[in-house]
Every structure is written in structure tokens, then in C-alpha cells.
Amino acid sequence: MRVSTNGMYDSGTIAMLRQQDALIKTQQQISTGRRILTPADDPIAAAQALNVSQAASINSQYSVNRGHALTSLGLVETTLQSITSNLQDVRQVAVNAGNPTLSDTDRKSLAIELRGHFEALLGQANITDGTGNYLFSGFQENTQPFTHKGFNVQYNGDQGQRLNQVGPSRQIAVSNSGTDVFERIKNGNGIFVTAANATNTGSGVINSGSVTAPASLTGHSYDITFSVSGNVATYDIVDTTSGATLSSGNAFANNNTISFDGLQFSIKGDPANGDKFTVSPSTNQSIFTTIGNLITTLEAPSSGQPGGTQLTNNLNSALQNLDNSLENILSTRASVGSRLQEVEALESMGEDFEVQYEQRLSELRDVDFAKAISDLNRQQVYLEAAQKSFATVTGLSLFDFI
């Protein structure tokens, strides 16, 4: 078989270029730390690496979202903690106001202190995050949630909760509606409200009462009207919703328990003839209304009788409603705390995923340095052998012997 001189040169050149290409590729793998330089090097591994990289990128974005969620929820929690402290101070003032040794002037001084707490609560309800968005305005993050004229506070936001996508299948609320936090608070004992008529002249003080038979509750309103003749006091119970008289001429004794239609309460003291007490279903009452009513109570003269009894009834009502407000704030804090824990748990899981993604990408893409260096040394030997053999073969030309 004849081999032309041109063929020998071409064959030798191709062999050397092939060895040089392999050597350069190995050198690039070592310098970059990557086994796959182009998808052609390992199509299957390259496709898998692309999928893993996309999953890792999505996980990184979720991590950013979780960071924002933790910041927002942390600010909400801090604000609610401040509100809790403020309401506890208001409650302490209300307790102090019940001291019988205080004068009208003393109670007016307490009312001035409460006005400061009222303004502070408004400021807390209108707080913003670091970017100027209001925390308690629902979806209307650029709208100031609460405005007021005197003690009349108006909510301007909506009922929504802003959500953050913190996981592939999990959105979490990072804000709370101002209505839920400050306004949707049941007054009285949460089921019904007891109150003394403002025109009462006796010393009867009514408590908040309780439910004895939930199935018997009607949701109606009632009047309890007293008749006093000599030392004998009786009362009538009228269902003002239906107009029916439930009972009449009931004998009354101090601190007597009164029960009907699945509810009960007691009245302490001595009601006067014509005194009236009411029972009505609980309704939503805002924290601002509760504090505003308390301030109005303390600013009104209440020395002597019946002012002292009216003050006691109003303070008892205010304390009950303040307790309800505190309970609602604490419930909201518990909800925010559980969301914080969930986000932290998801963040920990996301960090574990990140480690797994990096490990898998390393398995798919990273070069085995021991093997690559061994291949580089071997390819250098192959290239040198190819070069030497090429020089030997090209030296066998017939012209060298002529």
C-alpha cells in the first residue's frame, strides 16, 4: 500500500492536533474547576445541572422573600408588643380611677394622662415599615389607616392581608388589617353586654355576667326595671326585642343573681325605684371607642350619689372592654408569632435545600482534580510521543536518501 508524503504529513498533523485539543480541554477543566465546559461534553449531566440550577435559583428567591417576611412580621410583633404595654398602662389608670378617695379634679388629671395614651395608640396604629408602607391598612399600604376627629376614629384601609410567597406552595400573611386588630373586638363578656341606665339614682352596680346555657340564648335585648316600696325591692324582666314580659314582681336582694334565657348576672347594692338595667347582644367596639368612653367618664363630675355608682358601673364596663382589647391584641401576637416560627422553619429547610443543590451541582459539573491531573500528565506524554513519532516518520522521505 502506497502512502504519499502528503498523507503522512496530514495524518501526523491530525494526530498531534487531537492530542493538543484533549490536553487543552483538560487544562481548561482544571483551571475552571468544571468538568462540563459545554453541553456537548455530557448532554445528560448538563441538562440535569440546568434543572438543579433553576431549582437553586428559585430557592434563593424564596429565601429573599422569607427575609422580607421576617422583617415585616418582626416589625408587626414589635408594634403589637408596644400596643400591649400601652393598653396595660391604660388599664392601670382605669383601676386607679376607681379609688373612692379621688376627687373630680384627680380623675380629670387621669383623663389627661389617658389622652396621651390615646394619641400614642393612634400613632402605633398608623406606624409604617422602613419603606413607608402602613402596617395595618390591609392592601392599601400607601393609605393612612386611621384618622380621627376627637374620639371618633375612622378606618380608611381595607380588610386584606399582604402575602409573601415564602415557599413553592406557601404564601404567608405579612400584615394585619387594622379592623381585625383594633376594631373587631366584642364588648361586654363577648356574648352579651350589661349596663346601668344613666338616669339611675340608686346604688345598684351590675356585673358583666356569664352564659349558663348556650342553647337557650336568644340574642335579644332586655330591660330589668326595679320597683321599690318601703324596704321591698322587686324587678320586672322585659324582652325589648319581642316586647314580651318574661317575669314580673321578682324579689330582689343585694348581690342577687338574676338568670333567664341561658344567661345570668348579679346586681350589688340597692337600686332605687324606677332604676333600669339593660342586657343586649355584644357588638364590635374599637379600642379607640373604649378608651374614649373611659376618658369621657373620668372627665364628668362623679362625686357623691348617684355619680359614684355611675362611675363604678362605667369603670367596670371599661375594664371589661379593655381586657377584651388586650386579649385580641395577644391573640394577634400569637398569630404573628406562629407565622414567624413557620417562616424561620421554612428558611432552615431552604438552607438545607441550598446545600443539597450545591452538592448535586458539584457532582454533575465539578472536575475530579486527581483524575484530571492524571489525565493531563498522560495527555502530555501522548502529545510528546505524537510529536516525536511525527518527526521520525517525516524523516523517512526518499529524498533524504538521494
Provide the 3-class DSSP secondary structure of residue 195. strand
Query: What pLDDT is attached to residue 40?
Result: 60
> Cβ atoms within 10 A of the Cβ of 331, count?
12
- How many residues belong to the chain? 402
Of 252, 261, 191, the closest CA to residue 225 belongs to 252
Question: From CA 391, how far away is CA 402, in angstroms rounded?
Answer: 19
pLDDT in tens, 223-252: 999 999 988 999 999 999 999 999 999 999
The predicted pLDDT at position 289 comes to 95
The x, y and z cell numbers of residue 256, run together, are 342577687
For the chain, the structural domain boundaries read 34-187+284-366, 192-282
d(CA 249, CA 390): 128
**Residue 370: its pLDDT value, please?**
65
The whole-number pLDDT of residue 124 equals: 95
CATH for 34-187+284-366 is 1.20.1330.10
- Are 326 and 121 contacting, i.e. CB atoms less than 8 angstroms apart? no
Element (H, E) at 66: helix 43-97
CB contact set of 214 (below 8 Å; sequence gap of 6+): 262
Per DSSP, what are the bridge partners of residue 170?
Answer: 167
pLDDT at position 397 is: 60
The residue type at 309: T
Does residue 178 sit in helix, strand or coil? helix
**Residues of the chain whose pLDDT is less than 50?**
none
CA–CA gap between residue 43 and residue 223 (Å, rounded): 85
How far is CA 63 from each of CA 54, 164, 171, 272, rounded to the nearest angstrom?
Answer: 14, 11, 13, 68
| Helices 287-299 and 307-365, axial angle in degrees (round to 10) | 150
Sheet holding 244-251, edge to edge: 192-196, 276-281, 222-229, 232-239, 244-251
pLDDT of 155-177, one tens digit each?
A: 999 998 888 888 888 899 988 89
| Upper half-sphere CA count for residue 27 (Cβ side, 13 Å) | 9
